[in-house]
Structure 1
Amino acid sequence: MREFENPDRWDKAAQHYEKTAHPFTARFAETALTHVPLTSHSRVLDVAAGTGALAHAAARSGAQVLAIDFSPGMVARIAAAGLPNVDATVMDGQALALPDASFDAVFSIFGVIMFPDWRKGLAEMARVTRPGGHGVVATWQEQGAATFLLLGQIRRKLFPERETMAMPEGVKALGDPEGFARELVAAGYRVSRIDRVIFDYVLDVAMLDDPDTLFGMSQDWVSLNDAEKAAVIAEARHMAGDEPILPIPSTALIAVGER
């Protein structure tokens, strides 16, 4: 099992994820929400919700939101927010225990793309979307995002002979708009738009003092020896120069389909 497919790994990372990744992914979630009209009568499903960036943003519209994730630790962070119109439960996005056509809008922001069977995940999203409802999926383009993207860039510079961690199959398959559209159609959606969206991940350079917290979920980091890790950190500090913040431009595709 790859690390990103292990719920125990995400359980351990949940609190840190909420503090670091959640504010970043929330920017993409909020962009995704601009494409789907929600009201207080809308029923919304957030698949592989993480700590609830999309769920929280959708809840501000007054919609009733169900957030699901395979990691109990992530679900606990969503529930801890105590939002009255957000329910959170542990569930496998590849086999949703939910009725057909039961949601007005179904979202997965950088979630379904990580599934071992991501095509089944997309098909399940479509199955539970009502006719006329919307499905919205966000995926990373290029070599991922944020600290994963930074680490890959530095590794290729410092250790060009070393292979970097392969991107999940779903990310690779959905990384170009034409392939993305084909897969959504195969899942059961009619594609209305696919947008390319870029936001900076803002890395606090002080966090490089604890690099395992930043990079520890990546096999590209775990596979380095101590000297190589020190070289990576030195290069990241060099990239930042005298600035306390290192911006990492990260590119996503956000696709909107109609059922």
Structure 2
Amino acid sequence: MSGYDDPERWDAAARHYATTAHPFTARYAEAALADVPLGPETHVLDVAAGTGALALAAARTGAQVLATDFSPGMVARITEAGLPNVEARVMDGQALALPDGRFEAVFSIFGVILFPDWRRGLAEMARVTKGGGYGVVATWQRGGAATFLLLSEVRGRLFPEIEGMPMPEGVLALSDPEDFARELVAAGYRDPHITFVTHDFELDVAALDAPETLFGMSQDWARLSEAQRAAILDEMRRMAAGRPILPVPSTALIAVARR
């Protein structure tokens, strides 16, 4: 397993993810919703929902939302929100236990891109999208985002002799807009429109005192020695230059397509 496809790792990270990554990814979720008309009669599916940044935002439109994730810990965080129009289920996005054409809008915000078989994930999204409905997928640029991007950049500058771990195949394959569009069409969608959206991940510099909560999911971090980790943390503090927050500009590609 790469780590990204291990539900137990996501279970362990779920509560911290809800307080750090969720507010950040929610900004991209709002951008993903901007071009998709939703309302009380709309049935929405959020695939690999994490702690529900997209699902909870979609629910505010009155839509009926089903959020799925393979991590019980993530699903539990969504359930805790207690919204009457949001159902959360443990489910593998590569084999959705759902009928064909069930949803007017199907989203995956930084989820399907991490699947071992991300093409199958896209095809499953298309299968359960109603004819004329919307499929929306968000991915990162090749370098990733947030703490992953920051760690990669600092490690490469301080320790160029250490080869970084490759990004997930789905991120690499979809980081070019033309390739992204082609894969969506191959999955069963049509007329994809792709936009670039950039937001700053606001790293709380004080959180560097507990780096495992920030970098524990990164395979790059796991490969570093204690001395290398300390040097990287010192460099990040230097970059902050006394500020409590270190901004990390992070760019996503958001695709909206029709079924």
Aligned residues with identical type, % of pairs = 71
Residues 1-80 of structure 1: pairs in structure 2 closer than 5 A? 1-80=1-80
Residues of 2 paired with 1:191 and 1:85: CA distance?
Answer: 30
Counterpart of 1:52, as a letter, is: G
Residues of 1 paired with 2:213 and 2:100: CA distance?
Answer: 40
Q: Report the secondary structure of 2:20's partner residue.
A: helix
Residues 102-251 of structure 1: pairs in structure 2 closer than 5 A? 102-251=102-251
Q: CA deviation at 1:212?
A: 1.0
Counterpart of 1:148, as a letter, is: F
Residues of 1 paired with 2:219 and 2:101: CA distance?
Answer: 39
**Contact 2:202–2:247, Cα closer than 8 Å, also in 1:** yes
Residues of 1 paired with 2:101 and 2:196: CA distance?
Answer: 28
Runs of 4+ with deviation above 6 angstroms: none
Q: Report the secondary structure of 2:167's partner residue.
A: coil
Q: Report the secondary structure of 1:234's partner residue.
A: helix
Residues of 1 paired with 2:181 and 2:121: CA distance?
Answer: 15
**Contact 1:142–1:251, Cα closer than 8 Å, also in 2:** no
Unaligned runs of 5+ in 1: none
Q: How many residues align?
A: 259
Q: Over the residues paired in the alignment, what is the CA RMSD in angstroms? A: 0.5
Q: CA deviation at 1:142?
A: 2.7
The TM-score normalised by the length of structure 1 is: 0.99
Q: Deviations over 1:91-136 (max 9, x none)?
A: 0000000000000000000000000000000000000000000000
Residues of 2 paired with 1:192 and 1:59: CA distance?
Answer: 24
Counterpart of 1:25, as a letter, is: T
**Contact 2:185–2:192, Cα closer than 8 Å, also in 1:** no
Residues of 2 paired with 1:186 and 1:26: CA distance?
Answer: 28
Q: Report the secondary structure of 2:170's partner residue.
A: helix
Residues of 2 paired with 1:136 and 1:111: CA distance?
Answer: 11
Residues of 2 paired with 1:242 and 1:191: CA distance?
Answer: 47
Q: Report the secondary structure of 2:51's partner residue.
A: coil
**Contact 1:191–1:255, Cα closer than 8 Å, also in 2:** no
Q: CA deviation at 1:161?
A: 1.0
